[in-house]
Each structure stands twice: as C-alpha cells, then as structure tokens.
Structure 1
C-alpha cells in the first residue's frame, strides 16, 4: 500500500531551536573517541525527549535522527561521503557495510536496491554480500549478493509496499547450524549494527532460513518489532524504506571492541541485551557458602566426546557440584536453555560450538574448556580470549596424549601425536579430519579434579581434600 508524501510545515522559531540542538548533540557524541553503551542510550533518549518538547514536524525529527544513526556506522572519509552524498560503505577485513540515509526502493525478487536522491549524485553500482566473513571466499560465494544502484539517472520501480523505517539487510546462509558461527557472524554483528536504531528498522533476510529466524526470534523481535521480510516469499514486490544498511559490522571472535564502529559497545552490553531479550534473572554469579554451585556439563555426540562422562559427573558431584548434563538436543532450544546456562556457576565442555553458550553465563561464572590434542590455538582464539570480555573466568584443561583416542588409533609415536604442526601443514581439511572430527577423550579424573577445585576456589567455595 502506497503512502502519499506530505509537505513539511513548521514554524520558524521551533525550527531554529531544533537546528541549535542538532550540532550540540552531534558534538556530544562524536567529539570523543568512544561513548559507552549506557551513554548512548541516555543521549538517544534525551535527543528524542528534547525534540518532543519542540513543535517540530515529526518527519524532520525522524530524518535527522536517522542521519545521526547512520553516521555512527562509518568514519573518516566514509562519513564525509555519507554526509555529502547520502551513501557510503565501510569495508574491513571481515565485513562490508553500506549505508544510505536516502529513501530506497528494494526489488525483493532480484535484491536490487535503488537509492533515491533529490541532489546531484554520480551514477554508481555496487554488489554487497551481507555476511560477516568477507575473508572466506568460498563461504561468501554462497551468500546472495545485494545490488545497489545509485544516481540521478536511474529510473526506480514503483513502490508496492511503503515502510516508514529504514531496512537492514543480512544473510542467514554461511555457517548457520553451528552455534558459534551463528553468534559470531550474525547475532553479535547484528546487535552491533542495529541496536542503536532503537527498534526503528525492519529486517530483510536473504538466504532466509526458517530454522534461524525461529531459533533467534526473541533476539530479532528485541531489535525490531516488524515482521522479518523473506525475499523469496515476496514475489516481484518492491519495498520502499526511508534508508538502509546492508551487511553487518564485525569486530572479533565472540568479541566487541569499544573503539571500533559503532563506538562505545562492549560484550557486557551485549550480555545485558541478551538478559533483556531472554528475560534472564541472574546478572552476577554469587554463590553462598551453604549454596550448592551448579555445573553445566556439555555432552557431545560424534566427536570430541568424553568417553568417561559418567565418571566425570560422579567426581563433580563428590566435589559438591549439582551437575546438569546437557545434550545437543537440549541446547537447540535457546528460549529454555539460555536460562539453564544463566543459572549455573561453572560450565564445562570440550572445544566446540556448544561453548558459545558462554554468552549466557552470569558475570563472575567460570568456563572450563577441555582442550583436545592439537587444538590449543583454536581453543584459545575462539573461546579463551573472548571470555574475559564477557566477565567470565576462563580456565582450560589441556589433555595429555594418553587421554586422546588418537593414541589408540595411530600409536604414541605417530606424526599426529608427536608433530601436530606437520599435520596442519598438510592443510585445514587434513588437520580437521584428525583433530576436530577424529578424536574423543578419556579424561584423567585425578588431574581434572584439580582444575575443578581451582574453579571452586574462584567461586569462594571450599572443597574436599584432593585425593593423591
């Protein structure tokens, strides 16, 4: 349904006051290197409140507010270009994000975006694959490109549907189905890119996966109250929006850098967002002396399994933990499982996607990663390094060769045991077949017990005297 355009009408006095407010507000945000998450929310709230007291046309307010929001997604020459032409792109190693504060018309059949402008704009054409793994050519080839056309000479199609908010376009292809990659390349980047729009935007999801949209419905709904648009089910419709962002900002593995665009966010802010989205009750892990600490033990199937998992659970209970063993099926329902993780003090698991659930751990909780043979670098890079930024105490238990099934399969003196580097030198797939997909573990309970006792001490708990 089309909307008729309205002529902007306002008195001169409120407009002058409004124009005085705007540069002061910009200065408050962009004069310093970074602005904290709470400051962002307060400033944005004050922005709307102050303008709400003026008799300024709502369309003008929204246009200027939208320009401010888009401005935070680019910097340097890109920001200058956005202010000059209304369109700019920020290209980094892992992601490419293009934004426009001009009206757009999006043909969802071809995913072609027409950027409209009433000012001189050179003709331009750009293809963006909206997934935060730009360095991985093979993966990016599976992502549907979004074609962006701009310039005064283009003839845009007529609108079938008109929306009074900007659009945010991203893909749910790539490594969807793996919890780590879902959070790493979509959910955290989506928060970074769209949270400061304060729900004033609508998602268009290319490579639409119903599984993903259903699984993360709470997060998507907390970022936007509008129905997610699936281009594949829209036929030849043309959707018109007040602006657009294509692609998602990426900082690091399960991490947010407060100095990167958009400045001011941290992983603690993201965790607060998750608590709000999932209605999680526990913010900090505080266990009293008389309270039994809860330990979540992640159970794997197929590879990197704990071959003596039952014995591990028994030893954990002897130390005073209330042990909750969780399987992949139970972890699949995030609406329920998020609260399970949020209620525990310690999470234990072998290196794998399930450890990405650390985002739901309360501040001060402990995560113990069991590091399989040959996976020291990946274990630290993907889960160890990000943990402190989440307010989580990270501990790791590196298995000895004898605890790996690789010794039984290849022998103690085989290359896969004595020269891990040589196996990785053969290529990722060769190493993955051995160390990621080809080993299970039988944990040395005496040695592992010491790690768990250290975890208890961190929580301020006493423990039984270690056995010799």
Structure 2
C-alpha cells in the first residue's frame, strides 16, 4: 500500500522544488565563503602587522602597507570577475535607432540576418527586390562603393543561417537604394501607413511543429511584438496551409491580413520595412536580446492563450456533457507522435482510469486541428507522451501541470535537456520514462513497437496522481477523494 495520509501528500508538492532549493543553498554558501575570505584578508593583516597601543595604533611599515594594498587590489579584481546573478547584458542592436531615409543590416547573429529600411520603401515582387528611395543623402551603409543607385544587400529572410541545405530552398531578396525621392516610374499601388515585416516560412513542405515554432512563430513574435499589431506581414515562400494552420496566432501579432510577397504583384509602399526575423535559438526568448524589454517565453505562451481562447470556448461548450466530475485529475495520453507504437495501449488506458484519472486519448497526425491539440493539452493536469510528441507541445500546457515523456533507447541527451529546460522555464513538471531494452519490440514488418512495463510506469503515474490531487486539495479546497481500488492491481 502507498502512504496516502495528508502529510505525505503535502510532501509531494515539493516534488519539483527540491532541486531549486538545493541549488539556491549551494549558491548562498558559495557567496558566503567568498565574503568571508575577503573579510579575513582585510582584517587579519591589519591586526598582526600593525602594532597597537591603548590610545593610537602605530603606523604600519611600508612593506606591510604594500602587501595590504596588493591584497586589496586582488580582492577587488576577484570580485569583478565573479558573475553577477541579476545583471543582464543586453545585446546592442545596430539597427535599433535609425533616422528617416536610412538603411541598416544586422549580420551579427549566427542564426539570422535582419535588414531595416526606413523612409520611402517599395516592393517589386517581379524583381525579388525591395527599394528604398531617398533624396540622395547618406545611408547607414553608405561608402564610396555604395552609391545610392547600387544594390547594397542580398538576404534570405529565414532564421537558420547555419543550415546551408535548408537556406538554399529559401528565396533570396535584393535590397536596393535609389537616389530619387519620388521613385521614378516605380509607383505605389497600395500605400500602407504602418510598418512591414518580411519573412519566409521555409522553402520545403515539411510539417514539423518544432521547426515552425522555432524558425517561424517565435522569431516573428520577437521581431514584431513591439508594433502592437500595427504591422503588415509579407510572406516569402508563402504556403496557404501554413497560414491556415497559424491564422489564430498571426491575428494576435498583426491586425492586417498577411500578404503573399511573390503572389501579389502590386507595389506595396511602407514607411518602414524589416526584412528577416530575430531569433534567439530553438524555442527560446532571451530577455536580454528582445526589442521590447523583458519579454520571455511565458509572454509568448500567453499570446497563444489569447490566440486560441475563442476556439477553446467552442470545444469547452461541446464537452459540457462529460459524465466524469470536473475535479477528477485529467490525463492526456498522446499516441501517433513518434515512430514507435505502443502495443499494450488498451491496458495502459485501463490502468490510468482505475487510478482515478479522467483519460483523453489524443492522436497526433496532420488532420488533427492545432487548436484542438492546444485545448486538450492546455486543459489537462498531466500529459503522458506514450508515442512521442513535439517539444513545442510543452508550450501548450498550463504551469503546474505534469509532462511524462516516454524516451526510447538512443535518445540524445541534448534532446532530453531541451525538454527539461523548456519545462522549467514555463513552470511544467517534467519527468522522463526511459524504456528498457525488454520493452522494445520488433514486429514481423520490422517496425518498432513498444510494450510498456506497466509495473515500472506505475511509479511515475502514482507520483503524478499524488501531486495533482495534493495541488487540487490545497489550491482549490477540492472535495476530491482518493480512489484506492487500483492499488492492489498488478499488470499482466
């Protein structure tokens, strides 16, 4: 039997906090030692080297003074080298402050290139070009070689510079500065009063949720959020399916419909255009590098909540007739997200129901609406990724919920670390379940199959159940009661 008394329940609340407290104690001890050493090095020399009298201390010798001064300089130097935990070193954006009729390119990141044009900016899709017309004055990049009528820059507006194979599929744009302020014969068909951001969704047709978030939505959020929806998106390598998939999110970043850069041959004119997207890495929002101060991945997650809220209300309305009590812990089991299928999934679902979970089976495939996946993961208390899921799915979960990830043999440590770090950032409890060799099967068709050892998995599920119920009992004053009927059960 498992200890289900209230004391044990409350102890499980610290399940996710013990590591944090231990790290905090280690950091505190480290700085206490440094402070003690610094204090001793200042006090001890003056005590032993200086002869004292009841009235006035004697003047220290020259050699003692020099040693003391050297020790003080060493202490100051050591203190300067110590990391300051709360100090942020923001990256300086070369194109952050620009005058009108100016042009600047930031190529300081290994991930992406970003160019900004301010003034009389016009598109020309037939030439795969964007023009800045000015009065012939200097630009940020002007030099004897860069005269107003010359093409200055070429850019592929996709944030993955290090992946040459992928970048070769992204259409290249030319940025040109012309010396005529009126644009000559290059007349405006549509004049916009707000800025524009030009970006690519990638040249391939691959349906990869992690890539679409890491290279698309999150960099787009970082680049455009400070416009507060008063911005137009021009999409290179436009795909109607991509736009339909993420239309809810795009509408929270821009109040205007996206434009297919090459599909719309009209000349669009803007007061400012940003070509390319700022990126901080895979599924990352670095607060020290954001254009708008102190943005984080949690701010992006709140944007997702806003984007999918109307659709979630629709799903919630359809689910009102559910017979299971709302207070019962909810568990979503993900199937179909990976290459290895679970053979005993029916027994897995049965075990979870016996424990008292309200179980929802979620199958991931291209036909599953993304808003429905978001609603399922956002409304649950725990997720068991039985057949694999995308790292980006963590962003769909509420803080305080639990994510159990079934990891196959040979999973790279870096991948598991990514899951752990992202979960910690957004406040999700992350636990991995590493499959034993005995749980891996090979069928006659030589396809991978998994037969979960339910006795092994029972420990993870038990602690998850305890943690969720304890939270509900403390946070919601829930009248939820333990379902102990499943405890004597043993998996077959």
TM-score clears 0.5: yes
* The one of 272, 283, 288 aligned to 1:243: 272
Shift in Å at residue 151 of structure 1?
5.3
Match of 1:173 in 2: 202
Shift in Å at residue 224 of structure 1?
1.0
- Per-residue displacement from partner, 1:137-158 (whole Å, max 9, x unpaired)? 1011111112111353796622
Q: Is the Cα contact below 8 Å between 1:107 and 1:113 reproduced in 2?
A: yes
Q: Is the Cα contact below 8 Å between 1:33 and 1:259 reproduced in 2?
A: no
Shift in Å at residue 440 of structure 1?
3.1
Match of 1:51 in 2: none
* The one of 283, 287, 290 aligned to 1:258: 287
C-alpha separation in 2, matches of 1:326 and 1:226:
33
Evaluate the alpha carbon distance shift between residue 370 and residue 305 of structure 1 in structure 2; reply closer, same or farther with a 3 A threshold: same
2:154 equivalent to 1:127: yes
Evaluate the alpha carbon distance shift between residue 158 and residue 113 of structure 1 in structure 2; reply closer, same or farther with a 3 A threshold: same
Shift in Å at residue 34 of structure 1?
6.7
Shift in Å at residue 341 of structure 1?
1.6
Q: Is the Cα contact below 8 Å between 2:152 and 2:176 reproduced in 1?
A: yes
Evaluate the alpha carbon distance shift between residue 238 and residue 208 of structure 1 in structure 2; reply closer, same or farther with a 3 A threshold: same
Q: Is the Cα contact below 8 Å between 1:219 and 1:277 reproduced in 2?
A: yes
Evaluate the alpha carbon distance shift between residue 81 and residue 407 of structure 1 in structure 2; reply closer, same or farther with a 3 A threshold: farther
CA RMSD, 1 decimal: 3.1
Evaluate the alpha carbon distance shift between residue 466 and residue 188 of structure 1 in structure 2; reply closer, same or farther with a 3 A threshold: farther
Q: Is the Cα contact below 8 Å between 2:113 and 2:276 reproduced in 1?
A: yes
Aligned pairs for 1:74-153 within 5 A: 75=92, 77-79=94-96, 85-118=102-135, 119-121=137-139, 122=142, 123=146, 124-150=151-177, 152=179
Unaligned runs of 5+ in 2: 1-85, 314-324, 471-481
Q: Is the Cα contact below 8 Å between 2:157 and 2:275 reproduced in 1?
A: yes
- Per-residue displacement from partner, 1:298-356 (whole Å, max 9, x unpaired)? 11167122222112111111221111111124873123332222110111215744452
Match of 2:383 in 1: 347
* The one of 154, 176, 192 aligned to 1:163: 192
Tell me the TM-score normalised to structure 2 length: 0.67
* The one of 456, 463, 482 aligned to 1:447: 456
C-alpha separation in 2, matches of 1:301 and 1:379:
16
Shift in Å at residue 84 of structure 1?
9.8
**Secondary structure, aligned partner of 2:126:** coil
Shift in Å at residue 290 of structure 1?
8.5
Q: Is the Cα contact below 8 Å between 2:383 and 2:402 reproduced in 1?
A: yes
* The one of 435, 441, 451 aligned to 1:399: 435
Q: How many residue pairs end up in the alignment?
A: 366
Match of 1:384 in 2: 420
Evaluate the alpha carbon distance shift between residue 160 and residue 143 of structure 1 in structure 2; reply closer, same or farther with a 3 A threshold: same
Q: Which has the larger radius of gyration?
A: 2
